[in-house]
Structure 1
Amino acid sequence: MKIFLAGYMGSGKSLVGKHLSNLLSYQFIDLDDQIALMQGKSIPEIFDLRGELFFRKLETKVLKETLEDPNPLIISLGGGTPCYGNNLEIIKNDRDSRIIYLKASIGLLTERLYTEKEMRPVISHLVKKEDLEDFIRKHLFERSHYYLQAHQIINVEGKNPDAIAAEVVENLP
């Protein structure tokens, strides 16, 4: 089985993925880390040098390669991965895959992302916290159609990564 963690940046996909990996003894893969490793550049560098379209195409390629891996995996998707091209369908059409949406409020995402926005190319240009909040609100509105198609939705508010990972495991088929 492959468990894909989806959600907006800052929702805890990578952290929860590591906890799930330990809990289930599955290998953990962060899709963004895989891309950065393959390119020998950070995600912000890839965005700066090649642009978002190049990144999104590469992301789909790495996603397909990950699905071909015969091992059980926990995969942390980038926030936009399920929203680009047919990535969501690619995952949903794989009978051994499960998508979990880690749902976080706009307020929680704003607080988490404001302190680390320089490391996130999509939001690094936003100076004021209010602008970041508006950006997240707009993005979540656009992306919710994709996120809400997950097999399982977990509200992460007020929960630590261990509790979220345990909730994922409780609801696995």
Structure 2
Amino acid sequence: MKANIALIGFMGSGKTTIGRILARSLDMKFIDIDRCISMKEKRTIPEIFEEHGEKYFRDLERSIIEEESKDNNIVISTGGGAIIDNVNIKNLKSTSFVVYLDCDVNTIYERVKRSKTRPLLTNSEDMLQTIQDLYDKRQTLYKISSDFSIKIDSNTNIYDSVEKIKNAYILS
């Protein structure tokens, strides 16, 4: 069994919510990579994107994932785009049981459509189409990067999902 659990998946898939509950139920520490970035930079993710761009954000993300991956007994909630960087996946897979929260596009849309904290969606004229396009580009990366995947939709019970992840982790 690996020392950590890393949650990957598209924005709005439930990584932070499920991660907190999962960490509590396994008596593990919870780390939210986006929150770590915001705290380190003393500004929000949208501000970082606006002031420095996506590349700067991805570089920060890589360094924080690398650092946090070295720790033990943690549940890591990654940002939705963390999987586009092979170094992130390498770091996560070396110490973590990687779980893909496979959330359908319509549920994602319903969860994020009013959000002002999603920089890749902020200026989108057709948010649903933007989500679909990003989702299509990343879907294969999520699948090949994970050790376990779980379907998430609007009817998913969070606590059932936590139990499934816990059981898969314990059996890994």
Matched letter for residue 13 of structure 2: S
Pair 1:151-2:153 in alignment: no
Q: Which residue pairs with 2:103 in the alignment?
A: 104
Runs of 4+ in 1 over 6 A off after TM superposition: none
Matched letter for residue 113 of structure 1: V
How far apart, in 2, do the equivalents of 1:60 and 1:86 lie?
Answer: 7
Pair 1:6-2:8 in alignment: yes
**Contact 1:88–1:146 (CA<8 Å) still a contact in 2?**
no
Percent sequence identity over aligned pairs: 30
Q: Which residue pairs with 1:90 in the alignment?
A: 91
Matched letter for residue 52 of structure 2: R
How far apart, in 2, do the equivalents of 1:18 and 1:89 lie?
Answer: 23
* Structure 2, gaps ≥5 residues long: none
1:160 shift after superposition = 2.2
Q: CA RMSD in A?
A: 1.1
**Contact 1:31–1:62 (CA<8 Å) still a contact in 2?**
yes
* Structure 1, gaps ≥5 residues long: none
Q: Which residue pairs with 2:70 in the alignment?
A: 68
Matched letter for residue 135 of structure 2: L
**Aligned residue pairs: how many?**
166
How far apart, in 1, do the equivalents of 2:86 and 2:70 lie?
Answer: 19
1:86 shift after superposition = 2.5
Task: Give the TM-score normalised by structure 2.
Answer: 0.92
